[in-house]
């Protein structure tokens, strides 16, 4: 029950509770001895009844009863009347236990167990539930059990939906009822039950929840349901391909050999290894991307059995971003030639989202790879500097267009009702400007609108969204970091929403053969987003922001130079996603907080040497176990990178000991903290 103040015990109540405890202990020890000796006589079972009627939380007693019932059932011939008597007794005990405490997990579970034995009293269960749910309308145990009974009795979901109508009608401050409603609707919509089409039902649900929100905007339950509805409106269940590198219709130039990203064109790529990455970016995490679900049709030799890797944490088999490495230099001379590469996705089923939805719309894209024979002799053994020498990017934006335009023609065929629903909500919530949750919801709605509407109107929304989040940061300091993060996401969406916006952040780096650099520095970003539109970036400046982690950057497979100086990174484990960047040569993490905090919560999210013995087989690990143990998080990140230049200065961790450790782990390093290493 809710809203009942707790009272201090009176002395006589304390005495009563002490007496109860003594009685309980006596019962308990007697019961335990019965249990251990497997005594299932009537007296012994009655004892457990007594115990449970006083203390329904005695889980062992419930389990004992299950054993006793099994024992009894095994003795009797299948006499239906006898079975019924035995099971009825169990239901009776549960009922009296529930009247003692109707939030007892053990009691509810025991009831489920009895019913799953095929007990025929199922019809009474809904009546019992109605009684309980009237007493405490929000009791989630009862709601949970209700779903179980409904499934067992095959009661229609429409009837249950009607029940939530009634419960919400009598008091809409009921999370359990709203939640059950969302569960039922999801199911009805998913199987397209009679009349349950999203474009018809979702707008009705908005109307319902609007009434709750406008009647009492201080009540949270309606807002939660609204958030769920928004999610239903914006997100399409089936996963979609949002972008790729190389993109459809693009023409890329491939060189042998690498030169610290010193390419003046955006479509140029070079690598010593002779492989280039093929990146697929989905709108949600998917699994099952493989050479059978994605087929490549090309004359480039040696790409018959591609290995697709998810860009995700270790041991995870799902990811938004998947990478395969295509060979473009093989033993046969192939220089100076152009090769068409045709990629077909989803021809055969197998790509499945983490929610269990199939990638259904098969998709195909083509790009041209121009393989050059001239290896650009680069002077690029020099240090890469981020401080000056940046010119405004002057190239025609057409070049860029090809890289950022996403082909989503196959997406959201029924987007009209979604746009209308969101537009209506936006109009409505502009009238609730005085509450924090009203502002937040408006911002989320505008963001949703920007996501599903035409490009032309996006910019305006983003400015409004950014203003709203700024207001919220000022109004509600306890959730500052959340607002900051979503503000960053909105800002990055804005930056990447059009080629005009994006080209404002592109520069040419004079000391680097005029190579192109995306500079997102000094934007007070705390989170990275919109990576799907930045797959082409090879040089990225994120300095002077408020980033805590590089999460998301793993998708930027072409990245060779990254500046993360003057951010708020607290440990190497926060750089975990960089392990996927095989091209990364230059990394600046100077002036962060690495090593400042002895307790690092992010450590628990990634693999730790305590659970992983692979490093002991590793050469470096064998040679210097103390250092590896000390700097294990740095070790796991740096060991997978092929860095030539690293800046670590301005962190607590930096020092001679760490430098000597780095030199061992990253043998190819040329520049450390701005100094050339003597090899």
Partner 1 sequence: MSDLPPYPPLDPTTYDLIIVGTGVSESILSAAASSSGTSVLHLDPNPFYGSHSASLSLPDLTSFLHSNSLSPPPPPPSDTPDFLSVDLATRSLYSSVEIATFDSSILDERHSRKFNVDLCGPRVLFCADESINLMLKSGSNNYVEFKSVDASFVGDSSGELRSVPDSRAAIFKDKSLGLMEKKQLMKFFKLVQAHLAAAAASSTESDEGAVKIAEEDMESPFVDFLAKMPLPPKIKSIILYGIAMVDYDQDNVEACGDLLKTREGIARLALYITSIGRFSNALGALIYPIYGQGELPQAFCRRAAVKGCIYVLRMPITALLLDKASELIVVETGGYKGVRLATGQEIFSQKLILDPCITVGSESMSSLTDQQKETLRVLVPKSISSEGKIARGICIIRGSVKADISNALVVYPPKSLFPEQLAAIRVLQLGSGLAVCPADMHVLYFSTVCENDDQGKAALLSAMSTLIKPQVPENLQSDSAVENDTAEAAKPVVLWRALYVQAMVKGEFGGSISSAASPDGNLSYNELVESAVKLYEQLMGSEELFKEETSPDNTTEEENDGGVEIEA
Sole binder of partner 1 in the list 212, 531, 584, 628 (CB under 8 A): 212
Sole binder of partner 1 in the list 136, 157, 217, 640 (CB under 8 A): 217
Sole binder of partner 1 in the list 100, 210, 298, 453 (CB under 8 A): 210
Phi first, then psi: what are they for 280, rounded to 5°?
A: -115, 130
Sole binder of partner 1 in the list 151, 159, 171, 231 (CB under 8 A): 171
Binding span for partner 1 by CB under 8 A among 28-36, 208-216, 253-261, 413-421? 208-216
Give the span between the Cα atoms of 411 and 299, in whole angstroms: 30
Q: How far is the CB of 168 from partner 1 (least distance, A)?
A: 8
Q: How far is the CB of 56 from partner 1 (least distance, A)?
A: 23
Give 124 or 170: the residue with its C-beta nearer to partner 1: 170
Give the span between the Cα atoms of 472 and 490, in whole angstroms: 14
Give 167 or 529: the residue with its C-beta nearer to partner 1: 167
Q: How far is the CB of 223 from partner 1 (least distance, A)?
A: 14
Instruction: Pick left, alpha or beta for residue 655 (phi over 0 → left; psi -120 to 50 → alpha; otherwise beta).
Output: left
Residue 272, C-beta contacts closer than 8 angstroms, at least 6 positions apart:
256, 257, 258
Residues from 601 through 620 that contact partner 1 (CB under 8 A): none
Ranges of beta strands (E only) in 515-573 are 515-519, 539-541, 561-563
Fill in the DSSP letter of residue 605.
Answer: G
Q: How far is the CB of 212 from partner 1 (least distance, A)?
A: 6
Give 439 or 585: the residue with its C-beta nearer to partner 1: 439
**Count of residues near partner 1 by CB under 8 A:** 14
Give 210 or 649: the residue with its C-beta nearer to partner 1: 210
Q: Are 359 and 345 in contact (CB under 8 A)?
A: yes
Q: How far is the CB of 431 from partner 1 (least distance, A)?
A: 6
The site map against partner 1 for 172-191 (x = CB under 8 A) is x-------------------
Q: Does 102 bind partner 1 (CB under 8 A)?
A: no
Give 429 or 615: the residue with its C-beta nearer to partner 1: 429
Instruction: Pick left, alpha or beta for residue 192 (phi over 0 → left; psi -120 to 50 → alpha; otherwise beta).
Output: left
Tell me whether the omega of the peptide bond preceding residue 238 falls within 30 degrees of 0, making it cis: no
Fill in the DSSP letter of residue 275.
Answer: E
Q: How far is the CB of 229 from partner 1 (least distance, A)?
A: 16
> Computed from CA positions of residues 69, 73, 76, 81, in that sequence, does the dihedral angle turn out positive or negative?
positive
Q: How far is the CB of 437 from partner 1 (least distance, A)?
A: 13
Give 217 or 309: the residue with its C-beta nearer to partner 1: 217
Give the span between the Cα atoms of 295 and 308, in whole angstroms: 11
Give 222 or 246: the residue with its C-beta nearer to partner 1: 222
Give 217 or 464: the residue with its C-beta nearer to partner 1: 217
Q: How far is the CB of 219 from partner 1 (least distance, A)?
A: 9
Give the span between the Cα atoms of 496 and 462, in whole angstroms: 11
Q: How far is the CB of 230 from partner 1 (least distance, A)?
A: 17
Q: How far is the CB of 218 from partner 1 (least distance, A)?
A: 8
Give 218 or 332: the residue with its C-beta nearer to partner 1: 218
Instruction: Kindly list the distances between the CA atom of residue 327 and the CA atoms of 118, 295, 298, 467, in Å, as whole numbers in the listed order.
Output: 61, 15, 11, 47
Q: Does 211 bind partner 1 (CB under 8 A)?
A: yes
Give the span between the Cα atoms of 584 and 644, in whole angstroms: 9
Instruction: Kindly list the distances between the CA atom of residue 519 and the CA atoms of 495, 516, 524, 561, 673, in Å, as whole numbers in the listed order.
Output: 11, 10, 13, 12, 21
Give 349 or 433: the residue with its C-beta nearer to partner 1: 433
Q: Are 345 and 364 in contact (CB under 8 A)?
A: yes
Sole binder of partner 1 in the list 21, 124, 192, 214 (CB under 8 A): 214
Give the span between the Cα atoms of 525 and 678, in whole angstroms: 37
Give 174 or 538: the residue with its C-beta nearer to partner 1: 174
Give 423 or 657: the residue with its C-beta nearer to partner 1: 423
CA proximity to 265, closest of 380, 381, 396: 396
Q: How far is the CB of 171 from partner 1 (least distance, A)?
A: 6
The SS3 of residue 581 is coil
Binding span for partner 1 by CB under 8 A among 92-100, 212-220, 227-235, 606-614? 212-220
Residue by residue, DSSP assigns 615-661 as HHHSHHHHH-HHHHHHTHHHHHHHTT---SEEE-TTSTT-SHHHHHH
Residues from 131 through 170 that contact partner 1 (CB under 8 A): 169-170
Give the span between the Cα atoms of 518 and 163, in whole angstroms: 55
Q: How far is the CB of 224 from partner 1 (least distance, A)?
A: 16
Q: How far is the CB of 216 from partner 1 (least distance, A)?
A: 6
The site map against partner 1 for 413-432 (x = CB under 8 A) is ---------------x--xx
Binding span for partner 1 by CB under 8 A among 94-102, 209-217, 355-363, 476-484? 209-217
Q: How far is the CB of 167 from partner 1 (least distance, A)?
A: 11
Q: Does 99 bind partner 1 (CB under 8 A)?
A: no
Give the span between the Cα atoms of 446 and 425, in whole angstroms: 9
Residues from 432 through 451 that contact partner 1 (CB under 8 A): 432
Q: Are 260 and 561 in contact (CB under 8 A)?
A: yes
CA proximity to 266, closest of 243, 245, 241, 296: 245
Q: Are 390 and 519 in contact (CB under 8 A)?
A: yes
- Footprint of partner 1 (CB under 8 A): 169-172, 210-212, 214-217, 428, 431-432
């Amino acid at each position: 029950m809710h809203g009942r103040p707790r009272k201090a015990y009176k002395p006589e109540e304390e005495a009563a509770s002490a007496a109860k405890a003594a009685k309980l202990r006596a019962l308990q020890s007697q019961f335990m001895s019965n249990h251990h000796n497997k005594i299932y006589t009537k007296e012994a079972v009655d004892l457990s009844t007594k115990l449970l009627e006083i203390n329904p939380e005695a889980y062992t007693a419930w389990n004992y009863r299950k054993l006793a019932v099994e024992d009894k059932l095994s003795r009797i011939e299948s006499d239906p009347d006898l079975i019924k008597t035995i099971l009825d007794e169990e239901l009776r005990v549960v009922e009296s236990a529930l009247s003692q405490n109707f939030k007892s997990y053990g009691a509810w579970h025991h009831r489920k167990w009895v019913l799953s034995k095929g007990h025929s009293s199922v019809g009474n269960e809904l009546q019992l539930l109605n009684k309980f749910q009237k007493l405490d309308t929000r009791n989630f145990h009862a709601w949970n059990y209700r779903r179980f009974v409904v499934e067992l009795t095959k009661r229609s979901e429409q009837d249950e939906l009607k029940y939530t109508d009634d419960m919400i009608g009598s008091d809409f401050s009921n999370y359990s009822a709203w939640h059950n409603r969302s569960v039922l609707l999801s199911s009805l919509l998913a199987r397209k039950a009679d009349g349950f089409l999203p474009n018809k039902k979702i707008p009705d649900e908005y109307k319902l929840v609007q009434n709750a929100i406008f009647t009492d905007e201080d009540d949270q339950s309606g807002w939660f349901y609204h958030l769920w509805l928004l999610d239903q409106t914006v997100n399409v269940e089936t996963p979609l391909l949002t972008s790729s590198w190389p993109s459809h219709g693009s023409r890329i130039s491939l060189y042998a050999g690498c030169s610290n990203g010193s390419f003046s064109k955006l479509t140029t790529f070079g690598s010593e290894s002779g492989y280039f990455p093929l990146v697929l970016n989905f709108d949600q995490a998917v699994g099952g991307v493989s050479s059978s679900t994605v087929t490549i049709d090309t004359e480039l030799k040696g790409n018959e059995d591609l290995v697709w890797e998810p860009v995700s944490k270790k041991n995870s088999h799902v990811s938004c971003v998947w990478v395969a490495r295509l060979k473009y230099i093989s033993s046969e001379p192939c220089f100076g030639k152009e090769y068409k590469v045709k990629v077909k996705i989803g021809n055969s089923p197998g790509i499945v989202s983490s929610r269990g939805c199939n990638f259904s719309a098969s998709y195909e894209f083509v790009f041209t790879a121009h393989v050059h024979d001239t290896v650009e002799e680069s002077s690029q053994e020099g240090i890469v500097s981020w401080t000056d020498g940046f010119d405004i990017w002057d190239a025609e934006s057409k070049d860029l267009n090809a890289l950022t335009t996403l082909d989503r023609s196959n997406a959201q065929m029924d987007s009209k009702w979604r746009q209308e629903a969101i537009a209506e909500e936006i109009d409505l919530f502009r009238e609730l400007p005085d509450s924090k949750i009203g502002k937040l919801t408006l911002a989320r709605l505008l963001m949703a609108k920007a996501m599903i509407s035409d490009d032309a109107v996006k910019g305006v929304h983003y400015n409004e969204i950014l203003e709203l989040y700024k207001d919220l940061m000022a109004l509600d300091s306890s959730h500052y970091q959340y607002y900051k993060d979503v503000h960053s996401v909105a800002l990055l969406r804005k930056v990447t929403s059009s080629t005009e916006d994006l080209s404002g952040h592109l520069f040419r780096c004079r000391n680097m053969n005029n190579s192109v650099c995306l500079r997102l520095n000094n934007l007070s970003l705390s989170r990275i987003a919109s990576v799907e539109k930045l797959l082409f970036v090879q040089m990225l400046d994120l300095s002077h922001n408020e980033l805590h982690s590089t999460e998301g950057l793993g998708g930027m497979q072409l990245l060779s130079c990254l500046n993360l100086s003057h951010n708020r990174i607290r440990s190497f484990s926060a750089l975990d996603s960089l392990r996927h960047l095989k091209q990364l040569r230059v990394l600046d993490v100077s002036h962060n907080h690495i090593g400042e905090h002895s307790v690092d919560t992010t450590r628990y999210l990634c693999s730790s040497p305590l659970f992983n013995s692979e490093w002991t087989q590793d050469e470096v690990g064998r040679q210097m176990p103390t250092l590896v143990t000390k700097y294990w998080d740095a070790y796991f990140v740096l060991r997978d990178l092929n860095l030539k230049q690293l800046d670590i200065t301005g962190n607590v961790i930096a020092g001679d000991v760490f430098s000597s450790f780095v030199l061992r782990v990253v043998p190819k390093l040329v520049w450390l903290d701005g100094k050339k290493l003597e090899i």
